[in-house]
Structure 1
Amino acid sequence: MVDIATRVYNHKWKIDPIVRSLIDTDFYKLLMCQSVFRNHPDTVVTFRLINRSTHVPLADLVDEGELREQLDHIRTLSLSRGESTFLRGNTFYGKRQMFRPEFMEWFENLRLPPYHLERRGDQYELTFEGPWPEVMLWEIPALAVLMELRSRAVLNSMGRFELQVLYARAMTRVWEKLAPLRDLAGLKLADFGTRRRHSFLWQDWCVQALMEAMGDKFIGTSNCLIAMRREVEAIGTNAHELPMVYAALADTDEELAEAPYKVLADWHEEHEGNLRVILPDTFGTESFLAHAPGWLAGWTGIRVDSGDPAKGAEIAIDWWKSHGEDPREKLIIFSDGLDAGKIEELHKQFSGRVKVSFGWGTLLTNDFRGLVPGDALAPFSLVCKAAAANGRPTVKLSDNPNKAMGPAEEIKRYRRVFGVGAQEALDVIV
């Protein structure tokens, strides 16, 4: 096992680039990329970094030269032969050749497009603009770089033994979180922690800890590279990015209202089984389900990713019942800001009523809260979102208005078109 503390102590030797592979990304980015490559290859999209935790002065913590060096390194990456073989020949979600030959040929020749970076006060403005299939693959590595550079900046002044103690305490914390979860019958748990991880080595350690502690309760990781190296399942379906861009491309209010369902119609043509999971909260879950076509009720499940998770699950259960579906045969994936206590609570509340699975993210792979002075390693909410498509702004409403994004007038229009009323504002931790 890698001695993480020693590697961190020596990181100035440039042993480890932060992102070392184009598949050091979430699996759902690759699934979505193939769909976008087929359906919208020429759409020009802009992605933008958004630091929701404005109290964290990224530009003061992260050296601009080092940030550029890491981003420039990512632009040199291409698929290795082994990575290409893994994607071409492996079985994902029970399906061989998940990735089509024409997509793989394109991906094998891909180098990520240029970025734009400048400092604005104590924050960075970081954007990526270009053909949608290319720029969308910047999202995860850009976030991983910024999160790890922030970690390195905090750890830079710590000595070898201080680092050993820090990581020993962090490892103990993870192990203690897993202890009560080991006894939950039927638990299904996946690592979703790539985008806001403490570091690549730490995420890899967390996956190994889950493998040993949880046995078959651990069903895989969202990180494609770690899945390949550790020989576990790559986990992921789709994200808010798809309906946000499809909606921005709509010319009328009527087309806007249909955009979220057009996304899933395209997805339906390509995937089946456990990849047919609805993410309904982009423009409000209740509105989405109230107007959803009947065929979506036959899909495998729903992912709950914002708002009160228990409320979201109850809404999904009622919707399935109203369409004559047996909720006990359906899957609910919880994935918003989870930690061990919430996982245990939700599992006990819904196990037996539905099939339940959990995507555990930032508070698995980046929980160093209280472990350094000033809580300088506490996780924070950093995202990189599609901000425009063909020059039109994107919007996300969410089930939590504190996660909404987009111009105020467009948010107002979307709320009208999708019939979104009052929403409960919840704190955004990660």
Structure 2
Amino acid sequence: MAKLTSILDNDFYKFTMQYAVVKLFPKAKARYQFINRGKHQFPEGFAERFREAVNNMANLKLSKAEKIYFSKTCPYIDPTYFDFLQGYQYDPEEVKIAQHGSELSVKIEGYWYRTILWEVPLMALICELFYEMQDEKRVSDVEVKHIVNQKMNKYDKLQITIADFGTRRRHSYAVHDLVLDALKDHASNTFIGTSNVHFAMKYQTKPIGTHAHEWFMFHAAKYGYKMANLLGLENWSNVYRGDLGIALSDTYTTEVFFKQFDKKLSKLFDGVRHDSGDPIEFAQKTMAHYESKGINPLNKTIIFSDGLDYDKVEKIVNFCQDKIGYSFGIGTDFTNDVGLKRMNIVLKMTEALPEDAEWTPVIKLSDEPNKHTGDADEILVAKRFLNIIPHA
């Protein structure tokens, strides 16, 4: 049965954001909601099985070995955080689960510093349990590794660097483990790390990540849409002082982001992450932005992470080569390429409660309109407020 075995089986940026939230917004609260983008039909009894898996997460604890590894790997995080994490326990009461026919409802509510860790492992459990209950046969363990090596042989020829970003929509823990084993054994320097801290520790590679959309969504709830990117990045740099320097650019569209990404921040951050919209257009806008600030784009990096496969990566490399730095985060194309239909699900923050304020709807304005999340009326308000053209 689908079950997590380590509290570190989560994306690195969840922990880095948690540390920042503990420092800056310890009284803030948040609400999250499951979104079934792929319209998957959940089998009868799914909610009960999922509830059991979520309840089991209350038993996860940071081990002494995990604490030592994590603190040594991240010297820029205060020791007090690792003491906090050692005492942290998931509270299943923060997660409300219901099923109506084949539709699944998952809602989370609680202090932001606590609830921030739920999203990724819940999505991983939903995927694993879904495949488990469908009882559809995946390719063999040997074939999983063969597929990874075939892909890596092609990526090697592009002379690029790649990280695994596939925790949230992986087929299963077992497949993820096989993928990391194959990546680590592959005889090249192409693979540089994983977003999953547990697997980074297990395979002695680098945990990779910085922050996610919810960081800026909360800042919009607290400070308003026009200040969300600027203050989000200012607060991030105040906490990390130059470490973890890749800025996420598309919470309120790239156009809006670059208006707020001033010269100081453009110089301070090592680069930006692309997560929606056309990657070539994004690269062009990014290079133009840096050049307008008198910054050589070759001294900066774009991390591409939006639904990547080999063809998309090759196209990006052919455009960006000798123009700007680049690296790639590959998700489900590594961890859910097992001969079955991949799941398309997300779990997003929907409301935030800053200290001494009130519950405020939060939204994400992706560079792809069909990836917008949040209340439709609030999306229109944000677009008007940010002067976003109607088709954006």
Structure-2-length-normalised TM-score: 0.93
CA-to-partner distance for each residue in 1:52-98, whole Å, 9 max, x for gaps? 111x112x26622221111000122111111111122x234xxx2x3
Q: Answer yes or no: is the 8 Å Cα contact 1:61–1:153 preserved in 2.
A: no
Identify which of 108, 112, 128 aligns with 2:86. 108
Q: Answer yes or no: is the 8 Å Cα contact 2:36–2:344 preserved in 1.
A: yes
- Secondary structure of 2:207's counterpart equals coil
Q: CA deviation at 1:203?
A: 1.1
Q: Answer yes or no: is the 8 Å Cα contact 2:229–2:260 preserved in 1.
A: no
Change (3 A) 1:234 1:43: same
Q: Distance in 2 between matches of 1:273 and 1:207?
A: 29
Identify which of 162, 166, 179 aligns with 1:206. 179
Q: Distance in 2 between matches of 1:272 and 1:300?
A: 12
- Secondary structure of 1:52's counterpart equals coil
Q: Distance in 1 between matches of 2:311 and 2:182?
A: 18
- Secondary structure of 1:137's counterpart equals coil
**1:428 equivalent in structure 2:** none
**1:356 equivalent in structure 2:** 326
1:86 and 2:69 correspond: yes
1:40 and 2:40 correspond: no
Identify which of 123, 133, 144 aligns with 1:143. 123
Matches within 5 A, 1:283-302: 283-298=252-267, 299-302=269-272
Q: Distance in 2 between matches of 1:285 and 1:417?
A: 15
Q: CA deviation at 1:288?
A: 1.5
Letter of the 1:101 partner, please give it. P
1:379 and 2:359 correspond: no
Letter of the 1:418 partner, please give it. L
Letter of the 1:180 partner, please give it. K
Q: CA deviation at 1:291?
A: 3.4
- Secondary structure of 1:46's counterpart equals strand
Change (3 A) 1:271 1:214: farther
CA-to-partner distance for each residue in 1:390-418, whole Å, 9 max, x for gaps? 22111101101101011111100111122
Q: CA deviation at 1:272?
A: 4.5
Q: Distance in 2 between matches of 1:300 and 1:216?
A: 21
Q: CA deviation at 1:388?
A: 0.7
Q: CA deviation at 1:126?
A: 0.8
Q: CA deviation at 1:422?
A: 4.4
Q: CA deviation at 1:214?
A: 5.3
Aligned residues between the structures = 384
Q: Distance in 1 between matches of 2:80 and 2:388?
A: 40
Greater shift in the superposed pair: 169-178 or 391-400: 169-178
Unmatched 5+ residue regions in structure 1?
A: 1-13, 372-376, 425-430
**2:58 equivalent in structure 1:** 75
Q: Answer yes or no: is the 8 Å Cα contact 2:30–2:112 preserved in 1.
A: yes
**1:267 equivalent in structure 2:** 236
Q: Percent identity?
A: 32
Q: Answer yes or no: is the 8 Å Cα contact 1:45–1:388 preserved in 2.
A: yes
Q: Answer yes or no: is the 8 Å Cα contact 2:271–2:301 preserved in 1.
A: yes
1:223 and 2:223 correspond: no
Q: Distance in 1 between matches of 2:204 and 2:147?
A: 25
Q: Answer yes or no: is the 8 Å Cα contact 2:50–2:126 preserved in 1.
A: yes
- Secondary structure of 2:188's counterpart equals helix
Change (3 A) 1:244 1:331: same
Q: CA deviation at 1:179?
A: 1.9
Q: CA deviation at 1:149?
A: 0.5
Change (3 A) 1:352 1:384: same
Structure-1-length-normalised TM-score: 0.85
**1:122 equivalent in structure 2:** 102
**2:46 equivalent in structure 1:** 63
Q: Distance in 2 between matches of 1:286 and 1:214?
A: 40
Q: Answer yes or no: is the 8 Å Cα contact 1:87–1:99 preserved in 2.
A: no
- Secondary structure of 2:85's counterpart equals helix
**1:25 equivalent in structure 2:** 10
CA-to-partner distance for each residue in 1:169-228, whole Å, 9 max, x for gaps? 44433332222111222x110000011111112112112212222522111000000000
- Secondary structure of 2:32's counterpart equals strand
Q: CA deviation at 1:330?
A: 0.5
Matches within 5 A, 1:379-398: 379-390=342-353, 391-398=359-366
Q: Distance in 2 between matches of 1:346 and 1:67?
A: 39
**2:312 equivalent in structure 1:** 342
